[in-house]
Amino acid sequence: MTQRHRAAIIGSGNIGTDLMMKLRRSEVLDVVAMAGIDRGSDGLARAAALDVAVTADGVDGLVALDAFDGVEVVFDATSAGAHRVNDAVLARSGVPVVDLTPAALGPFVVPAVNMSRLAGHRNLNMVTCGGQATIPVVAALAAVAEVHYAEIVASIASLSAGPGTRANIDEFTVTTARAIESVGGAARGKAIIILNPAEPPMLMRDTVAALVSATDEAVLTAAVTDMVADVSRYVPGYRLAQAIRTSPVPGDDPRRRLVAPAARQAELVHVTVLLEVEGAADYLPAYAGNLDIMTAAAVRVAERLVARTPEPAR
C-alpha cells in the first residue's frame, strides 16, 4: 500500500469520533490528530489510545501540534459558529477543509453528484444528512428528465438527533432545499425532517417525491437504481426501501400548483423513491444512519481531494 495522506479532525464528539474510526480503515487517509475543547471527551481518550495526537485547545491547539505538519485535509465536525473561526485559522495554511457543519462557507458537495466540478475549492460543505441521502436521487432524475419540483422527507430516530441537530432544524430545511436545487438540479426544492421517537429506534428513512417531465418509466428507474448503487459504494447501508414508483399527474391534480406556471399544462410524472440508511456502527449505533452517511460521505470527499481523483462527472 502506498503512503497514506495525513488528515486531522476538529471536534471530538460523536461525529468526530465516528470519522476517526472510518479513517482508520481508509487506504488513502491516515488520521494523525484530533482537536476538541473537552479534555474529558470520549473521543479524545479514544484518539490518544490509538496514538493519534490530541489537544483540548481547539483549532489553535491543533495547528500548534507537531503532528499538524504535513496534514493535507482537515475535517470540521464542530458547529456552524465554531467552523467560521476554525476556517479562518486553517486558511492561513491553505489546508483543504471538509465542513460537516451547517456553516456552508464553501460550496455544497455530494460526492456521487458534483465532486468533479469542485476542483480548486479549499472548503467544501457536506450539506445535511438528508441532503446526502436524497440529492443523489434528485440528480439522477434530473439527468434524464426535467425536475420541476422535488420534495424530500428525512425521518430519523429521535435518539440520533443531538442538541446541535435539534437547534438547527430550520437551517436543515433551508440548506437542504437550496442544495436540492443547486446540486440536485430541481427547479424548486423543499425539505422536511421528522424526529421519530419510536422504540426501538428506527433506521433513517428518506422519501423523495418529484414532479418531472413525462419520461419513460424504465429510464427513470434505471437512473435512480444506478445512482443508489453509486452511493452504496461509500455508504454500504444505503439502499432502496421499496420499488421506485411512477404515476402520471392528471391535468386537474392540485400538485401541479407546485411547478412553475409554464409547466403546469405539460405532461408530468410523479416519482416516489423510498430510501433506507443503516449505519455501519463504527462508533455510533446502526440506527444512526443520518450521522453515518455524513461521516462516510465526508471520508469519500477527502479521499478524492487528496488523491486528486474526483468522482466521474455524471
Strand ranges (E), the chain: 5-10, 29-35, 53-55, 73-76, 97-99, 123-125, 147-157, 189-196, 204-213, 238-240, 245-248, 268-277
**CB within 8 Å of 154: residues ≥ 6 apart:** 128, 129, 130, 133, 134, 176, 191, 192, 193, 194, 204, 205, 206, 290
Residues catalogued as catalytic:
129
Is 13 annotated in some ligand binding site? yes
Is 92 annotated in some ligand binding site? no
Is 119 annotated in some ligand binding site? no
Is 134 annotated in some ligand binding site? no
Is 161 annotated in some ligand binding site? yes
Is 86 annotated in some ligand binding site? no
Is 168 annotated in some ligand binding site? yes
- Taking the C-alpha atoms of residue 113 and residue 135, their distance in angstroms, rounded to an integer, is 8
Whole-Å CA distances, 129 to 31, 149, 256, 267, 307 = 23, 20, 28, 32, 24
Is 169 annotated in some ligand binding site? no
Is 164 annotated in some ligand binding site? yes
- Taking the C-alpha atoms of residue 1 and residue 269, their distance in angstroms, rounded to an integer, is 49
Q: Which of 204, 281, 271 is nearest to 244 (CA)?
A: 271
Is 295 annotated in some ligand binding site? no
Q: Which of 112, 86, 89 is nearest to 99 (CA)?
A: 86
Is 12 annotated in some ligand binding site? yes
Annotated binding-site positions: 12-15, 160-168, 290
Binding site for NAD(+): what residues are annotated? Answer: 12-15, 160-168, 290
